Amino acid sequence: MLSSLIVRTKSGRIIPVVLAAMLMAACSGQAPQTPAANIQAEATASSEYYLQQMQQSSDDNKADWQLLAIRSLIREGKLPQAAELLGKLPQELTDVQRQEQQLVSAELSIAQKNMPNASAILAKLDVDSLSNSQKTRYYQAVIDASQGKASLPVIRAYIAQEPLLNDKQRLQNINGTWAALTQLTQADLNSLVINADENILQGWLDLLRLYQDNKQDPSLLKAAIKDWQTRYPNNPASKVLPTALDNVLNFKQASTSSVALLLPLNGQAQVFANAIQAGFNAAKNGAITQSAPSQPQPAAAPDDANAAQPTSTDPNANGAVSTSGAAPVAEATPAAQTDADGMPVAPIVPPSASNAQIKVYDTSSQPLPALLAQAKQDGATLVVGPLLKENVDQLSAGSTPLNVLALNQPEQVQNNPNICYFALSPENEARDAAKHIWDQGKRNPLILTPRGALGDRVAKAFAQEWQQLGGSTVLQQGFGSTGELRQSINGGTGIRMTGQPVMVASASQPQSVTIAGLTIPAPPADAGAVSTSSGKVDAVYIIATPAELTLIKPMIDLANGSHSGLGLYASSRSYQAGSGPDFRLEMDGLQFSDIPLLAGSNPALMQQAAAQFKNDYSLVRLYAMGADAWVLANHFSQMRQIGGFQLNGSTGVLSADSNCVINRKLPWLQYRAGSIVPMQ
């Protein structure tokens, strides 16, 4: 019989050798063992924990804990501490540690809003040597460093990141990929060069194309998406559609069988309400259709550029509409309308006539909540209005179950799932002008505005849009009355290209940032920082009446020379169509915008409206607004639910932002050699 191996204690008890060995090993360990640090995995613990482990660790893995602590400090928004700890990393690092150091340096630069530095660091990383967890962070850093600006590298980063994510993260990735794709302009798409093996990318691009081709018709879009899913079964979006497209598949048309039209039928605003109601009813009855652009018939033009024009009370007092001169374009050949990305927009024509019941409610007679309650009781399925800003503010502050197309917008718009805002405001024009001037390659604009609230509002709207496009600080210069302008020009004083910076909350100011799904709080902003124009003024956007413009442009030429290379742009406020040849020659080179109806998109309708309102083209604009309000009401659900949906209206190419504020892209025209020609 084989004997067992034993050890005998002093007490005579017998203990197996294995147990004795375990006891001896336990006794030999005098200090707690620091767990291994894996810098290629997730860092989910607190910075306090990692710092403690760093203090207790040996020199061999101390740098690992240090790198993990830096990641947690960034996640916690403790950027100064993270930067300090990053600077204390030892010079001697392993290849794995060096890769992690570069990756965390890029993430810190993103959190500090130093995107160029982050991009430079990311470009040097060897992506193939990273772990899957690190690759997820790397691709997210590439996306974050782009600051929401779409490009082929960003889209490729989304595509490469997708297989590394869990289901919840994957939906965010798919939505992000789609958002980036839909930002690409037609010029971007035409210039894309992709590799033959990029099947996933090709699938995404085909999905974008079919969306752009069919987005105006949800039923056609549904069929096209179904066919695409068959052709690209391995594309991530084939399994889980982007939320925006999923909304299309579940699209429900809003009812317009009974519409409540809320307008002020008494008081100073009654004349504006009457014009809107006339346009609304004309469109509802099929009297307005989008005709193909054609050459308008010349209209009689006064020889004097300052000839008296019909006037009306300025509806701009409450921001409802932007006014301008009082005659249509008679010399221009209209250009076909395009969307914000330069893509053609097919006109959307409502039914020739509608059986919808329209009931008008007077907002000057009862409080808005009472009118909304009455409209609901009367069976209204959709509300158009109110018009006045104070009523729209009440609408935003309250609540109603009805779908509402407001004919103005509050200062601070809050996203409400059943409200859209449609206004012909000078701020809207200013945002469109910023895009137009940016697209023309100008980078240092000056805004000339009348002194006061109107000028400040327009300048702020322009500057906000300009900075969202990637521009620097915008300058503003105010001017006084026509009397003051005449004194200046008589004294030989021109208008210098100088101004005060328009202070707005820009994208360059500290904000919170999300990295790999984690939100880092914004660091404190430097209240003393003042940005300035980055170069010589190369564009001037003018907000002026025709009489003011007659003085302002010569003063700009006087101070800067008529061949200075300055781009001169004006809003519809300064447009005086049908002006004499002397005025048109004086304005040579100046570009201006106006609604399509006044720019010659529908000459027959323009002639009819001009006669109806006795050549008061402020009211013609409101008439066009009323017509577009009917079209928007018939496409309320598309505007609310389908991203990128657009309508070719009488007041511009209409689209909605994420808060369903209706934006208008306007046609631009130019005075050239005594004629008015469309800008292509």
Angle (CA) 45 48 52, round 5°: 105
In percent, the amount of the chain with pLDDT more than 90 equals 57
**What is d(CA 396, CA 413) in angstroms, rounded to the nearest whole number?**
8
Rounded mean pLDDT, 496-517: 63
Q: What is the pLDDT of residue 505?
A: 62
Q: What is the pLDDT of residue 134?
A: 95
Give the total residue count for the chain: 680
Q: How confident is the model at residue 581 (pLDDT cuts 50, 70, 90)?
A: confident
Cα 109 to the center of its chain, rounded Å: 25
Q: Which CATH number fits domain 257-424+612-654: 3.30.1490.20, 3.40.50.1100, 3.50.50.60, 3.40.50.2300?
A: 3.40.50.2300
Alpha-carbon separation of residue 303 from 121, 307, 554, 582, 651 (angstroms): 64, 8, 19, 8, 29
Of the given ranges (98-112, 176-190, 330-344), which has the lowest mean pLDDT? 330-344
- pLDDT, one tens digit per residue, over 376-391 is 999 999 999 999 999 9
Q: Across residues 403-424, what is the average pLDDT?
A: 93
Q: What are phi and psi of 337, to 5 degrees?
A: -80, 145
Find the mean pLDDT for residues 632-636: 94
Residue 651 phi/psi, 5° resolution?
Answer: -110, 5
In the chain, what are the domain boundaries?
47-199, 257-424+612-654, 426-506+533-594
* Side chain identity, residue 468: Q
Tell whether the model's pLDDT for residue 509 goes beyond 60. Answer: no
pLDDT band (50, 70, 90) for residue 339: low
Helical H segments across 250-367, by residue range: 270-284
Q: Is 665 helix (H, G, I), strand (E, B) or coil?
A: strand
Q: 420 versus 644: which is more confidently predicted?
A: 420
Report d(CA 580, CA 101) in Å as an integer.
69
Amino acid at 187: A
Q: How far apart are CA 350 and CA 671, in angstroms?
A: 34
CA dist 375 and 403 (Å) reads 12
Mean pLDDT of 42-67: 86
* Domain formed by 47-199, architecture: Alpha Horseshoe (1.25)
Cβ proximity of 655 and 415 under 8 Å: no
Give the pLDDT score at 518: 40
**Which pTM value belongs to this model?**
0.71
- Per-residue pLDDT of 33-48, as tens digits, reads 556 788 888 888 898 8
Looking at residue 576, its pLDDT comes to 63
Q: Are 605 and 595 in contact (CB under 8 A)?
A: no
The answer to whether the 257-424+612-654 and 426-506+533-594 domains have the same CATH topology is: yes
What pLDDT was estimated at residue 296? 31
Could you tell me the pLDDT band of residue 580, with boundaries at 50, 70 and 90? confident
Tell me what pLDDT residue 566 has. 92
Q: Does residue 578 carry a pLDDT above 80?
A: no
**Residue 502 pLDDT > 70:** yes
Using CA atoms, how far apart are residues 642 and 665, in angstroms rounded to an integer?
18
16 vs 115: which has the higher pLDDT:
115
Most distant CA pair in the chain, distance: 131
Asked whether the beta carbons of 139 and 106 are under 8 A apart, the reply is no
CATH classification number, 426-506+533-594, choose in 3.30.465.10, 1.10.287.1080, 3.40.50.2300, 3.40.1010.10: 3.40.50.2300
For 195-222, write each residue's pLDDT tens digit: 999 999 999 999 999 998 988 787 898 8
pLDDT confidence tier of residue 352, bands split at 50, 70 and 90: low
